[in-house]
Amino acid sequence: MDRDRILLTPGPLTTTLRTKLAMLKDWGSWDADFIAVTTGLRQSLLDIVHGHDTHVLVPLQGSGTFSVEAAVATLVPKTGHVLVPDNGAYCKRAGKLSQMMGRKATMLPCPEEAPISVAAVEAALQADASITHVILIHCETGTGVENPLAEVAALCERHGKGLIVDAMSSFAALPIDARRVRFDALVAASGKCLEGVPGMGFVFIRKAVLDGCAGNSQSLAMDLHDQHVYMDKTGQWRFTPPTHVVVALAEAVKQFVEQGGQSARLARYADNCRTLVDGMAAMGFRPLLKPEVQAPIIVTFHAPAHPDYDFKRFYAGAKQRGFILYPGKLTQIETFRVGCIGAIGRNEMAQAVQAVADTLKEMGIADGTPAL
């Protein structure tokens, strides 16, 4: 095979050669040149959400989940109470990490195949005045459904509740404008729709609540308030940063801007999604979600009903042909997932559909019709 396998996953993603090449230089973490990279990156990330007037940007080492945990620990006081509308695996993860940090967490179960109900969230807030914060997963990557960020933000503002947004798989693709949508914290990561490499998360924190976050976190390494104060004063990270990840992300953001920013990235991903869904439909595959609630980030498909279908063989066949798929996250029905994001376009998606068709033929399966 004359190219890397294409990652049809929700991160890590396929990256450009320019992004890969950015990692070939070593950097001193306290050196002025690297400090300048960090400073510029923080500014350019604030540009994307139009957040300079309202928010600060605090980066953190580790995967995106590190930053979600850090945001909850920093924003929610130890006596706080979070409400987590739950329509998937990453919502459950947010609830679990909140509870493990000693914060009271109430889960609000919602159907997995639909966006969360704003009315149900409002009813929960009205029923329990002790709730201080809502944690919203913007795009529930377990299924691919987009949740109503603007509506939940307006609801939290109206009821005087803090809002923490996990925008891991939506940031830089789906529109998020801090001038119009109020959130106390919004969390994303390097290896998602910005098309950098994994290893760094970042959190937008609203300036109005920042000072009140001092002392909330029970963790030294994951205290975002302390990280912000130190970085604002010195320009440096408190502890050794993932230097190669940071410079790769800075390079990826340059390409993001060159290519037209968020609207252009959304258009490419939406085209990828249409190419994928239409091609798979021609083979009988059926997505879990209805088109009107499907975010163009990752698509969950029902598994074929054929008795010879086995995901491990299916995965291996696609991998042999150059494409890495993703297993399903649902517990009640068998599914698999295909990502639409990364440095790929319509041609790669069409090739992926052909790889699936060839794999089915190799397995002796006529089509992808599910058992519905």
For 68, the 3-state DSSP assignment is helix
Say if residues 295 and 341 touch (Cβ distance below 8 Å): no
The whole-number pLDDT of residue 332 equals 79
The whole-number pLDDT of residue 1 equals 45
Cβ-proximal residues to 212 (8 Å cutoff; 6+ apart), any chain: none
Superfamily of domain 6-11+261-363: Aspartate Aminotransferase, domain 1 (3.90.1150.10)
| pLDDT per residue rounded down to tens, the chain (372 residues) | 457 899 999 989 999 999 999 999 999 999 999 999 999 999 999 999 999 999 999 999 999 999 999 999 999 999 999 999 999 999 999 999 999 999 999 999 999 999 999 999 999 999 999 999 999 999 999 999 999 999 999 999 999 999 999 999 999 999 999 999 999 999 999 999 999 999 999 999 999 999 999 999 999 999 999 999 999 999 999 999 999 999 999 999 999 999 999 999 999 999 999 999 999 999 999 999 999 999 999 999 999 999 999 999 999 999 999 999 999 888 778 999 999 999 999 999 999 999 999 999 999 999 999 987
Q: Is CATH 3.40.640.10 correct for 17-258?
A: yes
Alpha helices in 211-345 (DSSP H): 224-234, 243-258, 261-281, 311-320
Please give the helix or strand (H or E) that residue 292 lies within, else none: none
How far is residue 327's CA from residue 311's CA, in Å, rounded to a whole number?
8
Please name which of 317, 303, 316, 326 lies closest in space to residue 357, comparing C-alpha atoms.
317
**Average pLDDT along the chain:** 96
| pLDDT tens string 281-328 | 999 999 999 999 999 999 999 999 999 999 999 999 999 999 999 998
The whole-number pLDDT of residue 329 equals 83
Say if residues 186 and 54 touch (Cβ distance below 8 Å): no
Query: In the chain, what are the domain boundaries?
Result: 6-11+261-363, 17-258
How far is residue 72's CA from residue 135's CA, in Å, rounded to a whole number?
9
Side-chain half-sphere exposure of 54, counting CA atoms within 13 A:
16
